[in-house]
């Protein structure tokens, strides 16, 4: 296993480097955006004297490298800095936004895995027949619908027309678990696209695996039916699916902006949107660090799973 350990260490080091690079890039990009927090805050009253006073109050008049150095120094002590706009700690922004996003992501994944794998295996089993054709065409069709449109459609039908579910989560704050009905539509929208891509991946992987020599060998030994499919073929199909799953979780955790906006769920995506619009650089930086670390860790996990499931495939680091 020492090979595996050095692989993990290498990946973590690389990940740390990647995170630093992401932060530097984000900093450079926010600096390059037209206008700064003072301009964004001044809004339609951009009285130059007032803008420069805001700039001074926010200490934006210091050179960029000095602000970056300050921020990096704070980061070494685990301090993500304070928001330019409100003066509250950025870590609090993240903590507040993390709960709803994590809840949405968990629920989505909990449904995504059984639905994606189940339908994928089913389609592969009946490849070319009616069930496969139905699953394949429906997933393709749903995949083609943008989230925003799907969300609006679902709200109109299930919330406004039929009245079965609440149209938004407005007023429920972060305590979404107390209002499970409000979660149904957002999770459905979040689920719609990943489930389609996962089904298609699993289906393709399964068909390949079922046709592979080792499954043929197992079949010759008399292994049959479910056992053949789940213990001999499925693991081979899992590797690409696991990596796809990691990317999906990453996408979910990084705050699915559209769904959060549409259903008024105060998660990380909402925090990010606000922070960018207000040029709240420390908040944007804090989010970039968190997203960077999450991406690295999740992909590492996926690669490890893939490594175990299909060692022959090698690991793409």
Partner 1 sequence: MHDDTTRPLPFPALRRRGFLAATGAGTLALAGCGGGSGSDDGGGGGSPKKGGRLRAAFAGGGASETLDPHLANLFADVARAKALFDKLADYGADLSAQPRLAEKWEPDKALDRWRITLREATFHDGRPVTARDVLYSYRRIADPKRAFRAKASLEPIDLDASRATGARSLEFVLKRPTAEFPNVLAAFGAYIVPEGATGFDTAPVGSGPFRFVSFTPGRSAVFRRYDDYWEGAPHLDEVEFLVANEESARINALLGGQIEYAHELNPTTARAHENEGRIGIVRLRGSAMQAFCMKTDRPPFDDPRVRRAFFLIADRRELVEGALSGAGEVGNDLFGKGYEYYAGGLPQREQDLGRARALLRQAGAEDLRVTLDTSPVAAGFTEAAGIFRDQAKKAGVTVEVRTGSKDSYWSDILDNGTLCCYRSGAMPIEAHLSQRLLTDSSTNATQWRHKDFDALYQQAQSTRDRTGRAAVYERMQRRLHAEGGFLMWGFADWIIGTARTVRGVGTEAPANTLDWARFDKVWLA
Shortest Å distance, C-beta 207 to partner 1? 41
Judged by beta carbon, residue 10 or residue 88, the one nearer partner 1 is: 88
Contact 196, 139 (CB under 8 A): yes
- Report the largest interatomic distance among the alpha carbons of the chain, rounded to a whole angstrom: 84
Judged by beta carbon, residue 51 or residue 135, the one nearer partner 1 is: 51
Rounded Cα distance, 199 and 221, in Å: 29
In which residue are the tokens 């709803």 written? Answer: 100
**What SS3 class is residue 145?**
coil
What are the distances in angstroms from CA 303 to CA 297, 306, 316? 10, 5, 8
Shortest Å distance, C-beta 170 to partner 1? 5
Q: What is the dihedral of CA 6, 11, 13, 14, to 10 degrees?
A: 140
What are the distances in angstroms from CA 177 to CA 103, 168, 169, 269? 8, 14, 11, 19
Shortest Å distance, C-beta 42 to partner 1? 7
Residues contributing to the site for partner 1 (CB under 8 A)? 33-35, 39-51, 53-54, 57, 83, 85-86, 88, 93, 96-97, 152, 155, 159-160, 163, 166-168, 170-171, 173-174, 261-264, 266, 270-271, 273-275, 277-280, 283
Judged by beta carbon, residue 164 or residue 230, the one nearer partner 1 is: 164
Residues with Cβ within 8 Å of 274's Cβ and at least 6 positions away in sequence, in order, are 280, 283
Shortest Å distance, C-beta 93 to partner 1? 5
Shortest Å distance, C-beta 257 to partner 1? 11
Judged by beta carbon, residue 88 or residue 129, the one nearer partner 1 is: 88
Judged by beta carbon, residue 2 or residue 45, the one nearer partner 1 is: 45
Closest CA to 313 of 238, 203, 211, 248: 238
Shortest Å distance, C-beta 157 to partner 1? 12
Contact 199, 138 (CB under 8 A): no
Q: Report CA Rg, the chain.
A: 24
Judged by beta carbon, residue 119 or residue 262, the one nearer partner 1 is: 262
Shortest Å distance, C-beta 178 to partner 1? 14
Judged by beta carbon, residue 215 or residue 283, the one nearer partner 1 is: 283
């Amino acid at each position: 296993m020492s090979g595996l350990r050095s692989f993990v260490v290498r990946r973590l080091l690389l990940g740390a480097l990647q995170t630093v690079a992401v932060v530097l890039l984000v900093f450079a990009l926010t600096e390059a955006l037209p206008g700064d927090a003072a301009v964004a805050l001044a809004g339609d009253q951009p009285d130059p004297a007032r803008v420069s006073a805001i700039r001074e109050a926010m200490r934006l008049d210091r050179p960029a490298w000095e602000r970056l150095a300050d921020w990096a120094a704070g980061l070494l002590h685990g301090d993500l800095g304070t928001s330019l706009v409100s003066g509250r700690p950025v870590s609090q922004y993240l903590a507040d936004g993390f709960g709803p996003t994590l809840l949405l992501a968990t629920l989505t994944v909990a449904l995504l895995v059984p639905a994606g794998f189940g339908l994928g295996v089913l389609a592969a089993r009946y490849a070319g027949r009616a069930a496969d054709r139905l699953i394949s065409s429906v997933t393709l069709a749903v995949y083609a619908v943008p989230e925003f449109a799907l969300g609006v459609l679902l709200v109109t039908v299930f919330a406004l027309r039929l009245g079965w579910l609440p149209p938004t989560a407005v007023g429920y704050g972060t305590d979404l678990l107390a209002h499970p009905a409000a979660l149904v539509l957002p999770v459905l929208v979040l689920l719609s696209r990943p489930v389609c891509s996962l089904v298609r991946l699993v289906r393709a992987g399964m068909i390949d695996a079922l046709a592979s020599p080792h499954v043929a060998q197992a079949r010759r030994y008399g292994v049959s039916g479910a056992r053949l499919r789940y213990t001999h073929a499925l693991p081979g199909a899992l590797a690409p699916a696991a990596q796809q799953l990691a990317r999906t979780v990453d996408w979910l955790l990084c705050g699915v902006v559209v769904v959060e906006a549409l259903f008024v769920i105060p998660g990380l995506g909402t925090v990010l949107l606000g922070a960018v619009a207000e040029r709240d650089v420390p908040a944007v930086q804090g989010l970039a660090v968190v997203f960077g670390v999450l991406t690295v860790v999740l992909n590492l996990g996926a690669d490890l799973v893939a490594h175990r499931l299909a060692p022959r495939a090698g690991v793409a680091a």
